[in-house]
Structure 1
Amino acid sequence: MRILTVAEMALREISRRRGVLILLALLPLAFYYSRRGEAYWQSVRFVSLGIGWTLSTAALFAGNAARTIEPRLRLSGYATHELYLGRLAALWTVGLTLIVPYFLLIRLDLDVRYGAVALILLLTVAVAAPFGLALSALLPRELEGMLVLLTVVAMQMMLDPETTVAHALPFWFSREIGTYAIENPADPHLMTRGTIHATITLAVLISMVAITSTIRLRRRPHMSLAAQ
């Protein structure tokens, strides 16, 4: 299956940045322990944001690396949707591998609703991969993309979660579901609101990836150069 072939190629490309990825994988641990003391109830939300930043950065790298090879794959008969779906499959695989040790850490370290914690981590992986790919399409330079990612995560941490701007950020759902997981609130709709937000965000981001990939690969600059 061609999607699996693209996923395998993407995983090989991602693995070439092994040192950077190891450092990024440790970043959520710093986020977690930064709130493990007096504000331990925020540690789950912060570790999910750290995972979101890490996986989005990996997706940014993967999207930029694909720019040189995807036109050749299109000439070989690969469809556009096979290219971006294969890349997403690879990133989701990386994300699932990343969240397992962090879920086990929370399971052993905190007394919370573990089902809700698992949902936060899974939704974070689902949203972070297309978010990073969408940024790579809009901002082809890695430094610019990483600065935008850092800004988004910082705003997610510092903004009042009830403001409209906070609701528009991609990882806002982590606050809603995290509140349910840790603080035992009376509001029964936190899980529903968080899940709906993540679902809509995921649909919008995947649509952006599909549209930008289609536009970019239809330009066919390699054909223009050959014609000249």
Structure 2
Amino acid sequence: MKAVKFEELKSLDLRKCKTVGDIVEGMRYCAFGARMLGEVAKTIHEMIASKEIPVLIYDGLDSSPLGLLLQKFVENKWCRRITLPSQYNRPGNGGELVIAVGGFSERYAEAIYTKPGRAIFINPFDMARPGQIKDGYFPDAVFADPRFVMPILYRTLDEWIRGKQAFVEPLISDLASYGGVASQVSKGAGALQVMMRDKNCLRFLTVSGAMTV
């Protein structure tokens, strides 16, 4: 069994980050959700750089903002194709790299867990291969709303692969159209900006949770 290589956690200093790609790179050395996102971004980037292009498994609407964004992953040749869980369940698939975006029915779970050579899971339901996730170690998974995660990954990859710098303000604005957590983040950022500009607004910052420093 391959030994797990542990890396020291580091504080994310946003003052040193100019772009979305800088922030995501720094997240690799954080804990929990931030580390999940940072490591998955690095893994997908390495797949593309090595020409091991993954397949997207997605059970959502093609015409939704997320569905249209995933089509851009294919157009950019970052992913080979988009397939439904039911299609991936058919004979003939197996051994490839896959990115499972969003939830999927339990009737297709065994195929998605066992057939790929390697699988990345992006969903808010803690759906991943049995035994894949261990205490303090979250390889190949981001347990968050893909409507929030995928726009960040898209801009990060666009920056790392094409050199097109992605800045936070346009990203926050764009998130509003995706719904779910993405829209909530966009609205929250807008409210915070209004508060920061109001000299008469008294602001409190409450930070809680494991690994808070």
Same fold, judged at TM 0.5 (above): no
Using CA pairs under 8 Å that are at least 6 residues apart, name the structure with larger relative contact order, 1 or 2: 1
Normalised by the length of structure 1, the TM-score is 0.25
Higher strand share: 2
Normalised by the length of structure 2, the TM-score is 0.27
